[in-house]
């Protein structure tokens, strides 16, 4: 169980991401352990031969808003939030969140030129509503989903 106590660290999402980025850039030593531990690198073209330190440097570039289109992008594309990287990091960085924030940057949401396609699924909410209508009663939808 998590208790959310006290004031939040930021007033809005981008402010939080900026502070997470600054903290990560300050602490990451680019040792490459997270990349070495990643179970998904076998699915990215060129990742098997990539130097771990270079892959991580590319991710940090995305955090800085500097586009890095080679290895780092291939790594971002195959990240499926396995969380193995978190346990591998000697600096206790939430590497999965680091990867997600780099994805956010590569999507163009933090000012860099977009290099990744959005994961937004077409008609996502319409589908959710359609399936809801097959599984729940009108009263449940009214009570539980508004």
Partner 1 sequence: MAALSPPSDKVTFWYGCNVVRHGDIIYNAIALLEAVGMEVTPAGGAGYCCGTKKDANLTAAQGMGRRNVEKFNAHNTGQVVSWCPSCYRHMNAFISQYTEPQFDLSHFIEILYERRDWLATKLIHPVTKRVLLHQHLGFHEVDINPMVIALLRLIPGLELMTTSPLAPAHMCSELSRVPASLKVVNQQTCESMRRSGADTLATVFHSCQRLLCGLEASESFTVVNYVNLLAQSMGLVSVDEYKDWKLAGTAQAVIDRLGPDRVAKMGEPFFHASILPELLSPPIK
Give me the least distance between CB of 47 and ligand SF4, in Å please: 15
28 or 74: CB nearest partner 1: 74
The single-letter DSSP state of residue 40 is T
Judge contact between 104 and 16, C-beta under 8 A.
no
Give me the least distance between CB of 98 and ligand SF4, in Å please: 6
By CB under 8 A, the residues from 17 to 36 that bind partner 1 are 17
By CB under 6 A, the residues from 55 to 114 that bind ligand SF4 are 56, 88-89, 91, 93, 95, 98
Judge contact between 56 and 70, C-beta under 8 A.
no
49 lies in the site for partner 1, by CB under 8 A? no
Residue whose token pair is 């939040």: 8
Judge contact between 118 and 109, C-beta under 8 A.
no
By CB under 8 A, the residues from 55 to 114 that bind partner 1 are 77-78, 80-84, 86-87, 94, 96-97, 100, 103-104, 107-110, 114
């Amino acid at each position: 169980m998590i208790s959310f106590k006290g004031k939040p660290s930021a007033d809005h999402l981008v402010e939080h991401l900026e502070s997470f980025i600054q903290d990560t850039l300050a602490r990451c030593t680019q040792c490459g352990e997270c990349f070495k531990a990643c179970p998904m690198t076998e699915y990215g073209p060129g990742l098997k031969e990539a130097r771990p330190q270079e892959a991580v440097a590319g991710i940090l570039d995305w955090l800085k808003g500097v586009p890095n289109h080679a290895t780092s992008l291939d790594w971002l594309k195959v990240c499926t939030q396995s969380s193995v990287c978190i346990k591998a990091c000697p600096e206790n960085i939430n590497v999965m969140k680091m990867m997600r924030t780099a994805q956010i940057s590569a999507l163009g949401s933090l000012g860099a030129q977009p290099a990744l396609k959005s994961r937004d699924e077409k008609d996502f909410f319409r589908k959710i509503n359609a399936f809801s209508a097959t599984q729940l009663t009108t009263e449940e939808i009214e009570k539980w989903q508004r």
